[in-house]
Structure 1
């Protein structure tokens, strides 16, 4: 019997080590200059098959081999960070009002809704619960959550997951540095830049001069010469490029639905790949993984 326990313990240790290796591999790929493998980022988890920002939606992503999951944060009345995209809970939970008007226990007493607006058995997760689930398995991209930068970092420190998380904001370097300078260099921070808006290049230049970010999230509502020039400028700087293919206005018309519904993957995902993107955020993670694997751009 003792030998059986030892074998089981060794198996558990091997499984833990493998999951740790998975997270390390993703991080190293993210930070490396090698463009040979793209990383897939799933928007709000696998929300087509589970409630958005739920543990199940994230678990689905881990199991299908997604590299990074995008989540959103809100704070409860009693100070807990929970996953929620909207200011109101009305759309995604069977309740009404602001998340900040409820305690964690009150929110946990409710249920999450699925994409069709039907109540499920799933409960709202805390940021800590999510990071413990993701630990060693997948990277996490905090989208709506900059307002809780320091609080989020404290949880990352507590759970030992600071090296797996990417925080981002569509703000100028000077503002981010002034507000969160003490934690800015302790984790990966990714600026979000709207390339079609006035002043985009100045924002890029400021980050490149003062911070040299590992990656930029680039948003653009057209694919004209000026947009492509700025994409090339970021790429030539050595920073990674993160492009959203969620809907046309985020990627100059090279979106998921064009790939899937119009059956034009080369004009959508293929175009993004050709821009030198390292990370593609999608609402169609399984299909994007299949596409990239077919191109030998993802394991």
Structure 2
């Protein structure tokens, strides 16, 4: 028999017998994590990164870390919804408000201060308690988040989507981050900037879905924010048939409803069809869902 044939056969046989790589349980991409899958466990999105926790300010790495430890797992990392704004010298930092007064020891408009200026301030929690924590940059947050959490990034008006997409590329975090948009035009712009990114899009009805498709946003890049009140179950069904997961904003009235009637209300939202809930009560929600 030809020696080359024998050697080739041995190589093939050994390869077939070699142990296969063990799956890590981690999503291969943001699409794997954010897409709709039947019978999947519901996911929790911490609004502003959980700012209602005593001693843990919103939009703060230390708060994100606390939530990751409390309710995250390797196969079901907590989603951190967080806000990106800009300093006077064009540094992308995590901040919800246009001013520093409510969440830091500083005062005035963020856009009028440099990054060096704001480094002297400390973050305050939502009860007004001063903490030792500082305002983080988007780069710091993304680099920290690898293998810990996933993100939905809320881009404020001062910030160009291109700068955020560039930072996602720089940090290599496209597999854990989705960009939030509030209209079809912005969603199309983000998709043009990076066709591989997942995008949180507003879909409260069929017309809003149709507009997104007209502008070229594909189903497999959408995560549908269905609003802050429950939609008809038919909308959930329509989006699920297209492989699109649905986010319900329980922050505000629905969280208050759960606090008043009992946290089992969150289970009902899941039974009605929601896949992800964006909440100001992530710990309470986790106790009921997990």
How far residue 24 of structure 1 moved from its aligned partner, in angstroms, is: 4.6
Give yes or no for the alignment of 1:164 onto 2:176. Answer: yes
Aligned to 1:127: 138
Deviations 1:180-212 (A, max 9, x none): 45324131112023x3xxxx4322122245321
Q: Give the secondary structure class of the aligned counterpart of 2:208.
A: helix
Equivalent residue for 2:242, pick from 213, 225, 237: 237
Q: Which residue of 2 aligns with 1:246?
A: 251
The DSSP-based 3-state class of the residue aligned with 1:162 is coil
- Measure the CA separation in 1 of the matches of 2:57 and 2:252: 20
| Matched residue, 1:43 | 47
- The worse-fitting range, judged by mean Cα deviation, of 93-102 and 73-82 is 93-102
Mapped contact 1:88–1:96 kept (Cα < 8 A): yes
In structure 2, the residue matched to 1:33 is 37
Matches within 5 A, 1:26-175: 28-31=32-35, 33-47=37-51, 48-49=53-54, 50-66=56-72, 67-145=78-156, 147-172=159-184, 174-175=185-186
Distance in 1 separating the partners of 2:26 and 2:259: 28
Q: Distance in 2 between matches of 1:24 and 1:283?
A: 28
Q: Give the distance between the partners of 2:66 and 2:255, measured in 1 at CA.
A: 19
The equivalent residue for 2:208 is 203
Following TM superposition, by how much is the alpha carbon of 1:57 offset from its aligned partner in structure 2, in angstroms?
Answer: 0.9
Q: CA RMSD in A?
A: 2.4
| Residue 34 (structure 1) shift | 3.2
Q: How far apart are the structure 1 equivalents of 2:27 and 2:147?
A: 5
Shift of 1:89: 1.2
Q: Is the 8 A contact 1:40 1:68 kept in 2?
A: yes
C-alpha spacing 1:222/1:70, structure 2 compared with 1 (3 Å): closer
User: Structure 1 residues 155, 164: closer, same or farther in 2, change over 3 A?
Assistant: same
**Which sits farther off after the overlay, 227-236 or 46-55?**
227-236
Distance in 2 separating the partners of 1:33 and 1:221: 22
Greater per-residue helix proportion: 1
Could you give the per-residue CA deviations for residues 101-132 of structure 1, whole angstroms, max 9, x where no partner exists?
11111111111111112322111000011111
Match in the other structure for 1:186: 196
Count residues with an aligned counterpart. Answer: 257
The runs of 5 or more residues in structure 2 that have no matched partner are 1-21, 73-77
Q: Whole-Å Cα distance in 2 between the matches of residues 21 and 228 of structure 1?
A: 31
TM-score by length of 1: 0.78
1:273 alignment counterpart = 270
Distance in 2 between residues matched to 1:217 and 1:104, nearest whole Å:
32
Are the equivalent residues in 2 in contact too, given 1:29–1:37 (CA < 8 A)?
no
1:246·1:282 contact (CA, 8 Å) conserved in 2?
yes
Please, what TM-score do these two structures have when normalized by structure 2?
0.80
For the pair shown, the structure with the greater C-alpha radius of gyration is: 2
